[in-house]
Amino acid sequence: MTALSPRFNALPTAIKWMVYALLGILLLTIVQSIGATDKLTSAPISREMLRWSLPVLLAGLGGLFADRAGVVNIGLEGMMILGMWFGAWGALEYGPWAGVVIGTVGGAAGGLLHALATVTFGVDQIISGVAINILAPAGTRYLSQEVFGSPTQSPRTTGIGDWDVPFLAGGSIFGWDSPDILLTVANWNWWFVSDVADFSRGLLRGTSILAIIAVALVPISAWVLWRTRFGLRLRISGEQPQAGESQGVNIYAYKYAAVIISGALAGLGGVVISSPELSGQFLEGNSGGRGFIGLAAVIFGNWRPLGILLGALLYGYVFGLDLKDLDGTASHALLLLNAIALGGVAAWAITRRRATDGVLAGLLAVGALIWWLASETVPGWWSNILPYVVVLLVLVFFAQRLREPAAIGQAYRRGGS
Amino acid sequence: MRRILMTLAAPLGALLLTLIISSLALWAFGSNPWAAYGDMLGHAAKLDTQVDIWNRATPLYLSAIAASIGFRMNLFNIGVEGQYFLAALVAAQVGGLVSLPQVLHIAVIFLVAMAVGGAWAGLAGVLNVTRGINVVISTIMLNFIAVSGLAAWWITAWQAELGEGESLSATNLGTTPIHDSGLLPHITGFVETFTGDIRDNNPVSGMLVVALLVGIGYHVLLNRTTFGFDLRSSGMNPFAARAGGVPPKRMIVVAMILSGAVAGLVGLVEVFEIGKFRPNQIQGLGFAGIGVALLGRNSPLGMAFAALLFGFLDISSVILQQTGTASREIVVIMQGILLLAAVVAYEVVRRIKIREEARATAEALAQGVAA
């Protein structure tokens, strides 16, 4: 896609991504027209996509900060669980906004623990992460039992509310109901145009404040990491800590800051899970491994915020579609999309003279196509694992093109070489 | 003597810290820590509770060995969870379908379990050496694919056929029951020759013997064979090992397959106990095994103690629920804190040792120069 033309590449990032998004919806519209379903571009699906992508997005951004400072954080899952519990407890005890703050702080505390173990004591980063993933659910289980009277769940919580965008999605301004332009366009039933309107409307109507905060954190993270002195120093800690040290950067402090931010973001992801946006209560096991998926989104997104957003949205799309697709026809249509994507990978690999990759992707594409032709619906387990299969395939075909921070996973000692 | 003290300092310090923190946690919510610990230890003194602890420690120990084979090579096989789940399911299904003489029948179940576990872990190894995919990431993905994907699919596909007029219930849910010839015998009778009588419904799993054999085999493999030497040296210094003629790619694949093969045994404890694979087969043994391996520092003996300790804590949670002296969840907290405290303590002790060695060398050199 990036090879289209130099002039396209010169466009601002935001416009390029809008073009990509339109192309994505176009592809969905085409697939939708072939496979007998009308769900792929509908507003409820785009809304589900956004909701379910939020925890993964926030965990992914958390993983980004830690990785960029050279600390692998597989404890994201545990920190997310801390955020879930403290978010629910804070919301029940002091109100929804306090829940957001307390949950974030809870996640940050998990990050502090990880920083203490890995940066100060030099414990292997994977080991510390595994230990935190065991400790955090244990701690919240105990706290739940003692505070809520049940080890697995809390009472229902209240959220911080949601918002309709005026004019585009009919939100009201000072009590005056603005026109719902996207709904009007969606009702025209024009091929593709109405699909875009309907899909966008799902994102802009009834959008929770938490979703707005989470999505806003994508450009904010990019700005902090690439446009501030703090970000530069944080990244040098993950690329060339010795070089940073020689320039007088306190590497320990930046690693600490990065891992605490990482925990805070994962904690906020947990807050989203236990807020009414998703579960509406703390429920054990409701993190559902989304911290790990966030970790995968970081790799999928090649350690860049927009890439992570894309990975999270893909996950949210597949997951949300499955929830709203009781007869399995829409998920079935996705198989065709898988086949097309794999075919694209095969073509790409062959132009790059990578025969093995081309053949492998081609075979998988044919397999997906045959499956699509030979079946009417897909089983539920397939939709459950599709996000993981996609990540694994992306790694299989593109691992060599990904670039991780140079000093990731390495223990750093001040004054060591 | 000093060396032994240093080695013991870390686990004992971690244990002390764990007791302090969990006592605070108990006291903060109005429970009496001493009463809780007293209940836990008091029950552990009973023979029947000990049997429970052994039966719980057995899969934990196997799972820990599986994880530690990878850890020794700095390969973080986080995927024991998916490997054992998938392996137990396929082995139970195959065991339920075939009918063979006893020894052969049991051997088939073992082989299938080890092959499935080995293949699933080996896949992560192959992806690592051919595509450069980090084992941590690929095994996490493969866990999800195994448990929520393949296993979920096969559990429904392989549900045992129901008899006339029978409906699906808790008793007939699961794969086709394995004929008695395929079930590893209990060793209750053997154990009772040394102890008092054990309750009839509380048999000692024969997998305990298997776990001990695997532990001994692991020790011999690691310390008495060339392969074990290559494994350890690849973990300590991959560049030196490569220069010494150890093929790094083959070592990675072989270590992963071996790790997965041992992981395949973990779920068999329950399969032999129940006689089939049920959808509610115990999960989480893979992650707990990683904890046990870390606590036992990847050493066969250390992991055995750690498995018993975790087994004791797991069983204590049931005891606490019965007596009601404290909330049973405190036990999971103790495991978590113990683990984190232990890995920190090991690292601190390791650094102190290195510093002392450096000082001793410096002194020896200084004396040499002076003389």
pLDDT, tens digit, for every residue of A107-117?
Answer: 999 999 999 99
Q: Cα–Cα distance between A307 and A239 in angstroms, integer? A: 20
| Portion of chain A with pLDDT greater than 70, in percent | 98
Mean pLDDT in residue range B349-355: 87
Q: Is B202 on the interface with A (CB under 8 A)?
A: no
Residues in chain A: 417
- Chain A CA closest to residue B31: A146
CA-based angle B311:B314:B319, to the nearest 5?
120
Q: How confident is the model at residue B285 (pLDDT cuts 50, 70, 90)?
A: very high
Q: Report phi then psi at B303, rounded to 5.
A: -70, -30
Q: With CB atoms and an 8 Å threshold, state whether B329 touches A145.
A: yes
Q: Which residues of A touch B288 (CB under 8 A)?
A: 134
Give me the residue label for tokens 């996705």.
A334
Q: Which residues of A touch B25 (CB under 8 A)?
A: 142
Q: Tell me the CA distances in angstroms from A294 to A105, B21, B59, B146, B251, one per residue in order.
A: 19, 31, 30, 19, 30
Whether residue B323 has pLDDT greater than 90: no
Q: With CB atoms and an 8 Å threshold, state whether A392 touches B351.
A: no
pLDDT for the residue numbered B371: 64
pLDDT for the residue numbered A255: 96
Q: With CB atoms and an 8 Å threshold, state whether A381 touches B142.
A: no
Nearest chain B Cα distance for residue A220, angstroms = 27
Q: Which residues of B199-232 are buried (b: 16+ CB within 10 A; e: fewer)?
A: eeeebbbbbbebbeebbeebeebbeeeeebbbbb
Least CB–CB distance from A121: residue in B138, B141, B344: B344
Pairing type for strands A172-173 and A162-163 reads unpaired
- Chain B CA closest to residue A113: B340
Q: Which residues of B touch A130 (CB under 8 A)?
A: 78, 287, 290-291, 294
Query: CA nearest A88: which of A290, A267, A211, A216?
Result: A267
Q: How many Cβ pairs closer than 8 A exist between chain A and B?
A: 125
Rounded to the nearest 10°, the torsion over CA B262, B264, B265, B266 is 100
Q: Cα–Cα distance between A75 and A123 in angstroms, integer? A: 13
Least CB–CB distance from B333: residue in A139, A384, A385: A139
Mean pLDDT in residue range B186-201: 80
Encoding tokens for residue A70? Answer: 């050279």
Whether residue A37 has pLDDT greater than 90: no
- Which of A260-269, A305-314, B92-101 is predicted most confidently? A260-269
Whether residue A50 has pLDDT greater than 80: yes
- Chain A CA closest to residue B149: A381
Q: Which residues of B touch A138 (CB under 8 A)?
A: 329, 332-333, 335-336
Amino acid at A34: I
Q: Is B138 on the interface with A (CB under 8 A)?
A: yes
Mean pLDDT in residue range A70-78: 95
pLDDT for the residue numbered A38: 76
Q: Cα–Cα distance between B221 and B201 in angstroms, integer? A: 37
Q: Cα–Cα distance between A246 and A243 in angstroms, integer? A: 5
Encoding tokens for residue B194? Answer: 């040394």
Mean pLDDT in residue range A219-242: 95
Give me the residue label for tokens 């390969």.
B75
pLDDT for the residue numbered B369: 73
Q: Cα–Cα distance between B175 and B163 in angstroms, integer? A: 14
Whether residue B199 has pLDDT greater than 80: no
Assess contact for A118 and A259: CB atoms under 8 A: yes
Query: Within 10 A of B359 (CB to CB), how many other CB atoms are there?
Result: 10
pLDDT for the residue numbered A167: 73
Q: With CB atoms and an 8 Å threshold, state whether B347 touches A121.
A: yes
Maximum alpha-carbon separation in chain B:
95
Whether residue A3 has pLDDT greater than 60: no
Task: Quick: pLDDT tens for B42-54.
Answer: 888 888 899 999 9
Q: Is B27 on the interface with A (CB under 8 A)?
A: no
Mean pLDDT in residue range B311-333: 88
Q: With CB atoms and an 8 Å threshold, state whether B127 touches A396.
A: yes
Q: With CB atoms and an 8 Å threshold, state whether B344 touches A399.
A: no
Range with the poorest average pLDDT among A50-64, A88-102, B238-252: B238-252
Q: Cα–Cα distance between A217 and A288 in angstroms, integer? A: 23
Q: Report phi then psi at B274, rounded to 5.
A: -90, -30
Amino acid at A340: I
Amino acid at B148: S
Paired strand residues for A171: A166
- Name which residue leads in pLDDT, B111 or A17: B111
Q: Is B149 on the interface with A (CB under 8 A)?
A: yes
Identify each DSSP E strand in chain B by its residue range: none
Query: CA nearest B14: which of B283, B360, B323, B343?
Result: B343
Q: Is the dihedral of CA B294, B298, B300, B302 positive or negative?
A: negative
Task: Quick: pLDDT tens for A349-388.
Answer: 889 888 888 899 999 999 999 998 888 888 888 888 888 8
| Portion of chain B with pLDDT greater than 70, in percent | 99
Burial (CB < 10 A; 0-12, 13-18, 19+), residue B193, is: exposed
Whether residue A175 has pLDDT greater than 80: no
Q: With CB atoms and an 8 Å threshold, state whether A117 touches B343.
A: yes
Q: Tell me the CA distances in angstroms from A357 to A99, A360, B123, B261, B356, one per residue in order.
A: 48, 5, 17, 29, 52
Q: Cα–Cα distance between A141 and A103 in angstroms, integer? A: 16
Terminal C-alpha separation, chain B: 30
Quote the DSSP letter at residue A153: B
Q: Cα–Cα distance between B138 and A260 in angstroms, integer? A: 26
Rg (CA), chain B: 23
Q: Which residues of A touch B140 (CB under 8 A)?
A: 74, 292, 295-296
- Name which residue leads in pLDDT, B168 or A350: A350
Rg (CA), chain A: 22
Identify each DSSP E strand in A1-113 by its residue range: none
Range with the poorest average pLDDT among A177-186, B74-83, B175-184, B308-317: A177-186
Q: Which residues contact A208 (CB under 8 A, 6 or more apart)?
A: A51, A159, A160, A161, A162, A163, A275, A277
Least CB–CB distance from A131: residue in B327, B328, B339: B339
Q: Tell me the CA distances in angstroms from B224 to A399, B70, B217, B232, one per residue in order.
A: 38, 18, 10, 12
Q: Cα–Cα distance between A334 and A332 in angstroms, integer? A: 5
Query: CA nearest B315: which of B38, B87, B41?
Result: B41
pLDDT for the residue numbered A4: 57
Identify each DSSP E strand in A82-208 by its residue range: 162-163, 172-173, 176-177, 207-208
Pairing type for strands A162-163 and A207-208 reads antiparallel
Q: Cα–Cα distance between A261 and A274 in angstroms, integer? A: 20
Whether residue B334 has pLDDT greater than 50: yes
Query: CA nearest A293: which of A313, A268, A321, A264?
Result: A313
Distance of CA A78 to the CA centre of its chain: 16
- Which of A344-348, A380-384, B326-330 is predicted most confidently? A344-348
- In a mutational test of the B interface, the residue from A79, A135, A140, A371 whose CB has the highest number of chain B CBs within 10 Å is A135
Paired strand residues for A162: A208
Q: Cα–Cα distance between B157 and B258 in angstroms, integer? A: 29
Q: Is B333 on the interface with A (CB under 8 A)?
A: yes
Query: What pTM value is reported for the model?
Result: 0.91
Whether residue A1 has pLDDT greater than 50: no
User: Under DSSP, is residue B283 helix (H, G, I), strand (E, B) or coil?
Assistant: coil
Average pLDDT score, chain A:
88
Whether residue A2 has pLDDT greater than 60: no
Phi-psi label, residue B225: left if phi above 0, alpha if psi -120 to 50, beta otherwise: beta
User: Under DSSP, is residue B197 helix (H, G, I), strand (E, B) or coil?
Assistant: coil
Whether residue B304 has pLDDT greater than 90: yes
Assess contact for B313 and B9: CB atoms under 8 A: no
